[in-house]
Amino acid sequence: MPDAADPLVLDFVEWIAHEPRNYAEVVATWRTSCPRLTIWEDASDRGYVVRETIAGTGLMVTVTASGEKLLREHGRIGPLQR
């Protein structure tokens, strides 16, 4: 993946880190028709975000420990409150 997309991956993971997002919201917000902008797939493939079903809430997208580490390393956040 080109380095130019890495800031977008950081933006995506940071956006998810602010609060767990409903899967439909994530898809609607970060959908793209450009095959060179694979932000969602890159973040997921690298293990920064994960989809999980939460009882009573539905399919959500949350940041993983690797995603938290990525954000801390790039000065985007301190430790996440859970």
Task: Report the DSSP pairing between strands 21-22 and 58-63.
Answer: antiparallel
**Is 79 part of any domain?**
no
d(CA 42, CA 10): 10
Domain that holds residue 39: 3-73
| CA angle 45–33–29, rounded 5-degree value | 70
Specify the pLDDT at position 79.
Answer: 54
**Is 78 part of any domain?**
no
pLDDT tens digit at each of 82 positions of the chain? 444 448 989 999 999 999 889 998 988 888 777 766 788 889 999 999 999 998 988 999 999 999 999 999 998 876 554 4
Specify the pLDDT at position 30.
Answer: 85
**Is 12 part of any domain?**
yes
Number of domains in the chain: 1
**Is 46 part of any domain?**
yes
**Is 80 part of any domain?**
no
Specify the pLDDT at position 3.
Answer: 44
- Which residue bears the tokens 């977008």? 8
**Is 55 part of any domain?**
yes
Instruction: Say whether pTM exceeds 0.85.
Output: no
